[in-house]
Amino acid sequence: MNHYKFAETFRAIYDRAVDLYSRGQRGAHVYFTAEEKAWLESNGLTPQHLYDYAEDQVTFSEPGYDIALSIELVRRDYFINVQDGRHSSIVLDESTMPPKTATVRGLEWLPRIIPKARAKLRGELPPSLMYCCGGDRRFFQTHDIHPAEFLTFLWRHDHDDDLIVDWVTRRSAYR
């Protein structure tokens, strides 16, 4: 693992995934070499993460490399320094997620994005869910919150949903 060149390697893999998707290739399982898959795994990422970014980048022109990198730097930091480089054996059961229309203090999507962000941070998202999908991006843009900022705030206050809701409420009030 080369910590210093993480962003450079991530960029090469990200750009390759975007190129493959734009040329019509589909399926995260066929995008990456064995070496790239091993590198992703050693950094707490999965091929699905990069595939999702590529799909949304080509389809919606976002989230973009900068946001993808910032999110994955937070995930990688958590993976290396909290999980000691060990992958979680837990996968979030999507059926337990609050509905997309669920609200807390009038904030739609927040009840859904909190467990989703926890699962992203811990590497427990199922392949069917993407952190920073279109719905997440809408939420972040509405409340002027950077996706990586939300992830780091959640990490610092992981067991205090009320504090997370208070923070989002305050941020939203500044808009």
**CA torsion, ordered 161, 162, 168, 172, to nearest 10 deg:** 150
> Which structure tokens are listed for 9?
């390697």
Q: What is the pLDDT of residue 8?
A: 97
* pLDDT tens by residue, 32-77: 999 999 999 999 999 999 999 999 999 999 999 999 999 999 999 9
**What average pLDDT does range 160-165 have in this prediction?**
96
**What percent of the chain stands above pLDDT 70?**
98
Entry pTM = 0.95
Output the DSSP codes for 101-155. T-EETTEETHHHHHHHHHHHHHT---TT--TT-HHHHHHHHHHT--HHHHHHHHH
Structure letter (DSSP) for residue 11: H
> Would you mind telling me the total number of residues written for the chain in this entry?
175
Cα 28 versus chain centre, distance:
16
Q: Which residues contact 89 (CB under 8 A, 6 or more apart)?
A: none
